[in-house]
Amino acid sequence: MHEAALVIARPQGARQLVLLFHGVGSSAANLAPVGRAIADARPQAMVVSIDAPHPSTLGSGREWFSVVGITEQDRPQRIAQAMPLFLDAVSHWQRTSGIGPDATTLVGFSQGAILSLEATQVDAPVIPAARVIALAGRFAQPVRRAPAGLRLHLIHGQQDAVVPVAASVAAARELQALDGQVTLDLIPGLGHGIDARALALAIAYLD
First to last CA, the chain: 29
* CA angle, 114 then 116 then 118, to 5°: 65
Please identify which of the residues 26, 49, 97, 110 carries the catalytic annotation: 110
Q: Report the distance separating Cα 27 and Cα 58, nearest Å.
A: 13
CB proximity list for 92: less than 8 A, separation 6 or greater: 2
* 3-state DSSP assignment of residue 105: strand
Please identify which of the residues 54, 66, 92, 192 carries the catalytic annotation: 192
Catalytic-residue membership of 110: yes
Catalytic-residue membership of 26: no
Catalytic-residue membership of 195: no
* 68 DSSP assignment: T
Please identify which of the residues 22, 26, 97, 160 carries the catalytic annotation: 160
Sheet strands side by side (includes 16-21): 6-9, 45-50, 16-21, 104-109, 131-135, 151-157, 181-187
**Which value, in Å, is the radius of gyration of the alpha carbons in the chain?**
15
Q: Is the dihedral of CA 6, 11, 12, 15 positive or negative?
A: negative
Task: Say what angle helices 32-41 and 196-204 make with each other, to 10 degrees.
Answer: 50
The residues annotated with a catalytic role in the active site are 110, 160, 192
